[in-house]
C-alpha cells in the first residue's frame, strides 16, 4: 500500500505497516500542507468577548498564525471589533503598547484612517457592518519576539457598498504571545459564525 501526498510517498509492505512511524506520516503531511489546524470556536451568543487562551507557545514550532474569521456577526450594527493579545497567559487590555496603522474602513460610514498607539488593542474592524464579518488575520512573531499583525476583513451590505477594514499592527512586548481575544465594543456576538486558527508550517 502506498500513501501519497503531493509529490512524496510512503510505501507500506503487504504484511502490515512495518517501518512506517507516526513521525514519518506527520512529516509527509506537514511538508505538503501550508497550514496546521490548531482550533475552531463557534461564535457564542450574548457575550462580547471570544477568548482563545493558551493556544500558542514558544515551543509549538510556529512563528506565524492565520486566523480565519467566518461570518462573525454582532447584535448591534454600528460597532467595532477589537483584537487583544494574551501575553504569558494574561490578556493585555490596559497598557498603551499596541500600535496600529493604515486602518481603512469604507462603506456606509465613509472612511477611517489611523496611525496611533492604543490602550484598547487593535481595531480590526471599524464600525457599520450590516451582515457577518469574514476575512483573515495574520499574526506573526518577529525575530525580536514581538507580535505583528496584518488583517483584511469585510462584510456584505444591501447597499452594494461593502464595508471593509485593512490594517496592520504591532505590540511592544518581550513576553510570549499565548493567545488572543476578539471583542465587540457595544452589543454582543450573535451565534452562527466561527473562527478557525492555523499555524503556518515552517518548511
- In tens digits, the chain (203 residues) has pLDDT values of 565 655 656 565 555 555 678 888 777 777 778 999 999 999 988 888 999 999 999 999 899 999 999 999 876 655 688 999 999 999 998 877 898 876 776 655 556 666 777 778 898 887 667 778 899 999 999 888 899 999 999 887 776 677 788 889 999 888 999 999 999 887 788 888 999 999 998 86
Same domain? For 128 and 143 the reply is yes
Same domain? For 6 and 41 the reply is no
Same domain? For 7 and 98 the reply is no
Sign of CA dihedral 9, 13, 14, 16: negative
CATH code: domain of residue 113 = 2.60.120
Give me 9's grid cell. 510517498
Same domain? For 162 and 148 the reply is yes
The b-or-e profile of 106-132 (16+ CB within 10 A means b, else e) is bbbeeeeebeeebeebbbbbbbbbbeb
Same domain? For 18 and 93 the reply is no
Same domain? For 29 and 56 the reply is no
User: Measuring CA to CA, which residue among 188, 200, 199 is closest to residue 50?
Assistant: 188
> Which residues lie closer than 8 Å to 95 by C-beta, 6 or more apart?
119
Other beta carbons less than 10 A from residue 145's beta carbon: 13
Domain that includes residue 191, residue range: 34-200
Write the DSSP assignment of 6-35 as a string of letters.
TTEEEE--TT--TT--HHHHHHHHHTT-SE
**For position 4, what pLDDT does the model report?**
62
Same domain? For 135 and 101 the reply is yes
User: How many structural domains comprise the chain?
Assistant: 2
Same domain? For 119 and 77 the reply is yes
Write the DSSP assignment of 37-73 as a string of letters.
EEEEEEPPSS-SEEEE-S---TTSS-SEEEEEEEEEE
The pTM score is 0.83
Residue 110's SS3 state is coil
Same domain? For 149 and 168 the reply is yes
Amino acid at each position: 500500500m502506498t500513501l501519497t501526498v503531493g509529490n512524496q510517498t510512503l510505501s507500506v509492505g503487504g504484511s502490515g505497516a512495518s517501518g512506517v512511524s507516526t513521525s514519518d506520516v506527520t512529516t509527509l503531511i506537514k511538508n505538503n500542507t501550508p497550514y496546521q489546524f490548531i482550533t475552531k470556536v463557534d461564535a457564542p451568543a450574548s457575550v462580547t468577548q471570544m477568548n482563545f487562551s493558551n493556544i500558542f507557545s514558544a515551543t509549538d514550532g510556529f512563528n506565524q498564525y492565520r486566523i480565519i474569521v467566518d461570518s462573525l456577526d454582532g447584535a448591534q450594527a454600528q460597532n467595532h471589533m477589537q483584537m487583544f493579545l494574551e501575553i504569558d497567559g494574561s490578556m493585555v487590555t490596559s497598557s498603551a503598547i499596541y500600535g496600529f496603522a493604515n486602518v481603512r474602513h469604507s462603506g456606509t460610514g465613509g472612511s477611517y484612517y489611523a496611525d496611533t498607539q492604543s490602550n484598547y488593542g487593535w481595531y480590526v474592524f471599524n464600525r457599520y457592518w450590516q451582515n457577518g464579518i469574514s476575512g483573515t488575520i495574520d499574526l506573526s512573531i518577529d525575530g525580536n519576539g514581538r507580535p505583528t499583525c496584518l488583517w483584511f476583513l469585510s462584510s456584505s451590505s444591501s447597499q452594494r457598498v461593502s464595508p471593509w477594514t485593512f490594517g496592520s499592527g504591532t505590540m511592544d512586548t518581550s513576553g510570549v504571545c499565548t493567545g488572543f481575544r476578539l471583542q465587540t465594543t457595544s452589543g454582543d456576538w450573535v451565534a452562527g459564525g466561527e473562527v478557525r486558527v492555523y499555524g503556518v508550517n515552517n518548511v
